[in-house]
Structure 1
């Protein structure tokens, strides 16, 4: 009986350790994937970066509809509110689709990315929308209906 309990505790410890390691992979190269299309997108801004703060700022977060997973961009360099396209520090183009929203896979990816990069981030979608004068009503009209 003691051996079974010991095995059970070891297994529980292993499961706990494995579940604490996020299942996140690095983004493909910009050359192999120059563009991403994000639905349920948000904007997050860096409040504190302990390592290489120049690499961080405002970032696209959303569901990559082509790849079928959550995505977090490098720092946003340029954004066009008419086309809803942005270019990031890596040179990748992000096409924002539809209205801002929350996707669980994107949030999971963001949380792991924040942890790995030792950042403090805050949601800044409303600030971004106001800064770029994004017309949410126009987006609502052209967004696909469920």
Structure 2
């Protein structure tokens, strides 16, 4: 079952494990990964800024996503991603995770 994330006011920071970043056909980038605290896959709104020192990014919703470790695959997160793509009529996308990997060297 797919559900919305808690409101930003309730959960302003989300730590993503086994994460990837995808660029969709409109040019926006989105975090996709596993949230250990909630035991669920997650897809972010569009990434607005990314701090390469902290390995954290702010999205259009205002939520901060903290990346844990290097990018990697998570089947549950990709299931949520596939559902999100259908709901948002995304026809093409590409994995741009390598653009964000260097930020996790010290995490």
The one-character-per-residue Cα deviations of 1:79-109 (angstroms, maximum 9, x if unpaired) are 0111101100000000000110010110000
Runs of 4+ in 1 over 2 A off after TM superposition: none
Tell me the CA shift for residue 135 of structure 1. 5.5
**What is the TM-score when the length of structure 2 is the normalising length?**
0.90
| Alignment root-mean-square deviation, CA | 1.7
Match of 1:125 among 76, 97, 103: 97
Larger % of helix: which?
1
Larger radius of gyration: 1
Choose which of 56, 64, 68 in structure 1 pairs with 2:35: 64
1:62-101 map, 5 Å: 62-101=33-72
Measured against aligned partners, the alpha-carbon deviations of 1:4-58 in whole angstroms (never above 9, x if no partner) come to: xxxxxxxxxxxxxxxxxxx21112110111110001110001115xxxxxxx710
Number of aligned residue pairs: give it. Answer: 106
Extract unaligned runs of 5+ from structure 2. Answer: none
Between 1 and 2, higher relative CO (CA 8 Å, sep ≥ 6) is seen in 2
